[in-house]
Structure 1
């Protein structure tokens, strides 16, 4: 049964924590909420918005949010991560947003550190930190050769703050130390720039996850959009989030699908922002390229090879779309 606090919400909040979820694994979501409950920033200074993106498992009946003075559960009937995030944005109060997936366990000082950094660096529109994988089962030895991060990233122990505006920066490629979706922190002003661009753009809204699809270009679209709107980005290594990885996500079937869909959406994203380094290819060549790549990658030799081949197929199909 869903419990919510009857306390009167406090309007002057620092942070809006937004959890967008679709049929979450309750065991994981409980760990996510426990980590939020243990935050050093007292919960009277931040709100918690859980966006149920058309789930069918009725997980909300199992939640107890009575510990939080400013917690809400909302349902977004239009499927897709982008629509859930827009719902959270439109209903958020605070000037700083932290996007937390339903398998992201934040370090207990995550919100406090995020707020402190924001106050000291108002020019930064979006930032993040280290995302550390916590596997349900040990990955097979070949997994590490696939190059698939599964939403995890470690860019070292040095703080990085971009300086795009200082040299009349012109976007030419995707920035190496850009924040990822796992634990992404973004100012409301920066996200509004993205919101206004994609609100009525079906192609842009389709870049994010939807149901069981593994399309994964939305986070990158957010980053590129706000850079073009004159916001800086940053990497803060002291911000640490544990990313819970279930066993099915290290299976060959899952990784093949991810390689294919993520590569396809990546090319679409780069094209939209005018920074795709690859030329359009004729549609009639796609099948021939796939056959050639089949032998190039020697897909019969290992799971890694067949996963990389699926990624190449996604790239070919996207390059031919234009």
Structure 2
């Protein structure tokens, strides 16, 4: 048993809830044909209370170290923690049910873990693949769909440098994942940072990645790590994108409330007059997205005492230059 445990270097964790099976099949196919031999990694599918039990639909017999686990408590945090609990790898790789990894993704992730011992969490480039041609007006908002393009490798151990990898293809060391699980145990309200059912709240993966900095490790983003994020037509609708913007704004405030590191001096954007002038210069679509952002902030203000009772009196700087990237 001990030999087998040391052989598993990576744990691939796919958390899913009511997935599109055509997408999930593509995800699993990309994993099946990874260049890294199966002997070095395990595959965990966490079925987060899907309406249809996924184990009856999926054939993973091609992988010798695969497990399908049912997590009945709805919520991405619950699913992620279950994967962390059951994982055996030194590095955990979180793959969404609409992520297609490049064939050498796992091989490169393993090399990074060996060559960059100072990093605790890292990710890579994310390309969007649209099922239908996207309207031109949506392009400024593709970053909300986790588009990530890099010109060079980046890494740092600072909290506010914009090098925080997003959840798609997120790689974290086991020690970081265990510390994150302990943070959630001590403060269960952190689970509110993640999606639950149809919610679009997005911040738990950022909280997980930033935990690397908590234990004196860094975060990084690497050009050679590449994946495709599948985008269905519904995610290009204005109503969806506005709702996503609102929930991401809410998530950003909530994440800052849990992390005292995000207490910086306000920038010029904090001045209400300049904010108002900036708003006047916006086109109609941009104004609608700005209103959605403000609704997210207002929602946090209404709910913060319930969500973060231990910090309810602390003022959050809503204009910190930090961006949550959604899935």
1:146 Cα deviation after fit: 3.4
1:296 Cα deviation after fit: 4.4
Please say if residues 123 and 220 of structure 2, whose CA atoms lie closer than 8 Å, have aligned partners that are also in contact: yes
Please say if residues 13 and 47 of structure 1, whose CA atoms lie closer than 8 Å, have aligned partners that are also in contact: yes
1:226 Cα deviation after fit: 2.0
- Give 3-state SS (helix, strand or coil) of 2:42's partner: strand
Give the aligned partner of residue 227 of structure 1: 213
Give the aligned partner of residue 21 of structure 2: 26
Please say if residues 100 and 227 of structure 2, whose CA atoms lie closer than 8 Å, have aligned partners that are also in contact: yes
| Unaligned residue ranges in structure 2 (runs of 5+) | 267-271, 305-311, 313-327
1:224 Cα deviation after fit: 2.2
CA distance in 2, matches of 1:214, 1:255: 10
Classify 1:119/1:303 alpha carbon distance in 2 versus 1 (closer, same or farther; 3 Å): same
Classify 1:297/1:74 alpha carbon distance in 2 versus 1 (closer, same or farther; 3 Å): farther
Which residue, 194, 201, 220 being the options, matches 1:215? 201
TM-score, normalised by the number of residues in structure 2: 0.83
- Give 3-state SS (helix, strand or coil) of 1:19's partner: strand
Give the aligned partner of residue 265 of structure 1: 251
Give the aligned partner of residue 203 of structure 1: 189
Please say if residues 279 and 287 of structure 2, whose CA atoms lie closer than 8 Å, have aligned partners that are also in contact: no
Classify 1:99/1:160 alpha carbon distance in 2 versus 1 (closer, same or farther; 3 Å): same
CA distance in 1, matches of 2:298, 2:198: 22
1:270 Cα deviation after fit: 1.1
Please say if residues 31 and 105 of structure 1, whose CA atoms lie closer than 8 Å, have aligned partners that are also in contact: yes
Which residue, 293, 301, 306 being the options, matches 2:288? 306
- Give 3-state SS (helix, strand or coil) of 1:199's partner: helix
When structure 1 is superposed on structure 2, of 93-102 and 50-59 the one drifting more is 50-59
CA distance in 1, matches of 2:279, 2:93: 42
When structure 1 is superposed on structure 2, of 303-312 and 270-279 the one drifting more is 270-279
Give the aligned partner of residue 120 of structure 2: 125
Which residue, 85, 91, 100 being the options, matches 2:95? 100
When structure 1 is superposed on structure 2, of 310-319 and 96-105 the one drifting more is 310-319
Give the aligned partner of residue 323 of structure 2: none
Please say if residues 155 and 177 of structure 1, whose CA atoms lie closer than 8 Å, have aligned partners that are also in contact: no
Between the two proteins, the alignment pairs up a number of residues equal to 292
Give the aligned partner of residue 285 of structure 1: none
CA distance in 2, matches of 1:265, 1:44: 38
CA distance in 2, matches of 1:107, 1:148: 20
| Unaligned residue ranges in structure 1 (runs of 5+) | 1-8, 165-170, 280-288
Deviations 1:273-309 (A, max 9, x none): 1214589xxxxxxxxx9xx98x94699x744432331
The CA RMSD over aligned residues, in Å, is: 2.3
TM-score, normalised by the number of residues in structure 1: 0.84
- Give 3-state SS (helix, strand or coil) of 1:64's partner: coil
1:254 Cα deviation after fit: 1.1
Deviations 1:132-182 (A, max 9, x none): 1111112111112336421221132x11221x3xxxxxx5x5321211111
CA distance in 1, matches of 2:231, 2:265: 32
CA distance in 1, matches of 2:147, 2:141: 14
Q: Does 1:244 align with 2:244?
A: no
CA distance in 2, matches of 1:319, 1:277: 19
Give the aligned partner of residue 160 of structure 1: 154
CA distance in 1, matches of 2:265, 2:155: 29
Deviations 1:10-50 (A, max 9, x none): 43211100000000000000000000011000112210000
Q: Does 1:318 align with 2:294?
A: no
